[in-house]
Structure 1
Amino acid sequence: MIAEFIGQGLFDDTEESIGNHVCSTLNNLTFKQITFFNAFLRSKGLKELKPFIKKAQKNGANFTFFIGIDEKITSKEALEMLLDLGIDSYVYSSKQFIYHPKVYVFEGEIRSRIITGSSNLTKSGLFYNIESSILLDFTNEDKGGNKVLNQLKDYFSPLLEFTSDNLEKVTKEYINYLVEESLISIEKYESDDDSFLKTHDNTKKRFKNPKIGTLGKIEITESARQSKNINLK
């Protein structure tokens, strides 16, 4: 099993971003069942993944998204984009607890991969914020990797088996209901001074966003990748 730590945001270089790892994994035709569990979804983050999602779909990958709507961060535009992509998507909303996972699961006939950490499916979460995640890549004969995958599936079984009362399928009608009840945001209506919502698409105003660069080129191998030399005082 390959285990890697992914950190972003402390340095200007965005090549090692969580978003690039997700795009690179989508670019790998090995993975055919792809499941995302995300607390927050914004259209600008999903837009960066869109060409890689469409390529994976063209090559037979099946997607399922389980998205949260707490704090009104998930947007109408983002949910509509899921519909446009033909992704089987569901909203999880509990009156008792906040739905807050950030888990990306990629399964194939030969190997599987899990990326989990602090990054939501927003542009800033995927590329700009100071975030950290762990990536596990393992063959389907790896006992340790499959143990983690089975534990993950067991935990999320109420969602994966669609038995939870807190689950609603994303449809045009359901999106309209969420808008009417003010349960999600509308990105095109947000004002420039709405910093609470804007921060999920952009970095803070006093900084300039670093360039994202070319996506989808990271390869995960057994050999250790070169890390930054940091002098800790």
Structure 2
Amino acid sequence: MQVKVIPQIELGDVRRLRVGDVLNKTIAADESQRFRFAVAFARLSGLNRLSVSIETLLNRGGKVAGAIGVDNQITTVDVLKALQKIAPNSTVFYTVSGYIYHPKLYLIDREKSAVAIVGSANLTRDGLFRNVELATAVHLEFESSTDYEVYKRYEEFIGELLNTANPNVQPIGDAVLDRLVQAEIIKREARSSEPGPGLRSRRRQTTSFTDLEDLFPPLRVPVAPPAGKHLVPKTRPIKPQKVIVPPATVNVTTAFIMQLSAFDSSHRTGIKGTPEVLIPHAAIDFFPPLAQSGHKYPDAFFDVILHTPLGPERHSYRLWYYEQRAVGTRIDEYRLRLNHDTIDLATPGGGDLLVINKLPPGNDPAYEVTVLPQTDPTFPAFLNLCTRKAQGKKWGGL
């Protein structure tokens, strides 16, 4: 038996490890065969950040199942619908009694061993990557009778939570989900806020908590990695009739990824220059359609969720098409005007990834933005998705 403590905080002598990183590595490992979990709360924001690892497991014949709680309107219809597709043997646990279902167990089975990750982290974005959480990864070898007995206790616990013959355990079929929706126990993710502090305005006044800052100052926390593939069906947005017709595109439907150059990363607060990046022609359909407005050039303004070390914030971006200069010189560039707050998140010398995710229909804002640093454990996987080049920069998408 090997035990690894996962402290999801940087405090004093404690160095941060993220539960989501440990899960991704363990699920995707070649020897892993089955992933089961029992969590109080689950959201697409959490599941989609494990999606690449889960897909790796499923593609080699592995199995996935989860026992999900639906208390407090945090778990969403969307995540349960996604689990219907990839983990049809999953269940919902609920009771009308005066207490809630609150476990957090992740169990990964292998042929001769297993890993149990137990702690405080739910299957949500912040639970897996940003909140102050504590978990323990217990590595169990079946050749050891002591280890195997411990494994059997975990196995029995999660097995019963996946057994629909037990009271309060229901399959995640449409009939059950419809009843839960009608009773307003679960909602669409677009109508259900992430647990914790809400989305902040970029210009939010902080006077509401300055009286406590001397006792509890703000903490800067590394942003969560971007979501991988959405594990739900995608729908195409309907475009207005009058738009600027873009050139032929490639299939970028879930996320646009581009490696920032040193020049991109130089336009920081207090430094002269416009915080813009060039968007490849082939990726333009991923963004809102451009139209003639009151500006000289066709453009589109849209809001995004920008993930910052102090939490998610609402920001406004402008996409515009620079056709030619006033003197007639042809430019033919699509430019995305970000803001200094976004560029400030990047490493000054360049190399980080700008990842723009398109959220499921109904979300406002419809896009979320992460500047993924080269030090993040998920960076290599996202960089590998950048299989094209434009203006000398790597880019790609999902």
TM range (shorter): 0.7 to 0.9
Counterpart of 2:42? 41
Counterpart of 1:5? 5
Counterpart of 1:194? none
Q: Taking structure 1 as reference, are residues 79 and 21 closer, same or farther at Cα in structure 2, changes over 3 Å only?
A: same
Q: Taking structure 1 as reference, are residues 139 and 175 closer, same or farther at Cα in structure 2, changes over 3 Å only?
A: same
Residue 72 (str. 1) matches residue 73 (str. 2): yes
Q: Which has the higher contact order (CA 8 A, sep 6+)?
A: 1
Separation in 2 of the partners of 1:164 and 1:7? 34
Q: Which amino acid aligns with 2:83?
A: L
Match of 1:175 among 169, 174, 177: 177
Would you say the 8 A contact 1:178–1:184 is kept in 2? yes
Q: Which amino acid aligns with 2:149?
A: K
Separation in 1 of the partners of 2:27 and 2:15? 18
Task: From the CA coordinates, give the structure whose radius of gyration is larger.
Answer: 2
Q: Taking structure 1 as reference, are residues 204 and 4 closer, same or farther at Cα in structure 2, changes over 3 Å only?
A: farther
The secondary structure found in structure 1 opposite 2:4 is: strand
Separation in 2 of the partners of 1:216 and 1:87? 31
Would you say the 8 A contact 1:123–1:202 is kept in 2? no
Would you say the 8 A contact 2:37–2:158 is kept in 1? no
Counterpart of 2:326? none
Q: Which amino acid aligns with 1:23?
A: N
Counterpart of 2:17? 16
- 1:14 Cα deviation from its structure 2 partner: 9.6
- 1:202 Cα deviation from its structure 2 partner: 7.0
Residue 199 (str. 1) matches residue 195 (str. 2): yes
Separation in 2 of the partners of 1:160 and 1:79? 14
Would you say the 8 A contact 1:124–1:202 is kept in 2? no
- 1:86 Cα deviation from its structure 2 partner: 4.2
Separation in 2 of the partners of 1:70 and 1:53? 25
Separation in 2 of the partners of 1:203 and 1:138? 40
Root-mean-square deviation (CA), in Å? 2.7
Write out per-residue CA displacement over residues 149-195 of structure 1, whole angstroms, 9 at most, x where no aligned residue.
112233445324433110111123322221111001322124xxxxx
Aligned residues: 210
Counterpart of 1:215? 378
Structure with the larger helix share: 1
Gaps of 5+ in 1: 191-196, 218-233
Q: Which amino acid aligns with 1:3?
A: V
Would you say the 8 A contact 2:163–2:169 is kept in 1? no
Match of 1:127 among 122, 126, 129: 129
Q: Which amino acid aligns with 1:188?
A: A
Would you say the 8 A contact 1:40–1:122 is kept in 2? yes
Would you say the 8 A contact 1:37–1:102 is kept in 2? yes
The secondary structure found in structure 1 opposite 2:90 is: strand
Would you say the 8 A contact 2:162–2:169 is kept in 1? no
Separation in 2 of the partners of 1:113 and 1:202? 34
Write out per-residue CA displacement over residues 10-44 of structure 1, whole angstroms, 9 at most, x where no aligned residue.
36x99720001110011112121221001100111
- 1:140 Cα deviation from its structure 2 partner: 1.4
Write out per-residue CA displacement over residues 45-86 of structure 1, whole angstroms, 9 at most, x where no aligned residue.
111011111110111111111000011110111111212324
Counterpart of 2:115? 113
Separation in 2 of the partners of 1:66 and 1:78? 12
Residue 187 (str. 1) matches residue 189 (str. 2): yes
Separation in 1 of the partners of 2:170 and 2:163? 13
Q: Which amino acid aligns with 2:108?
A: F
Identity in percent: 24
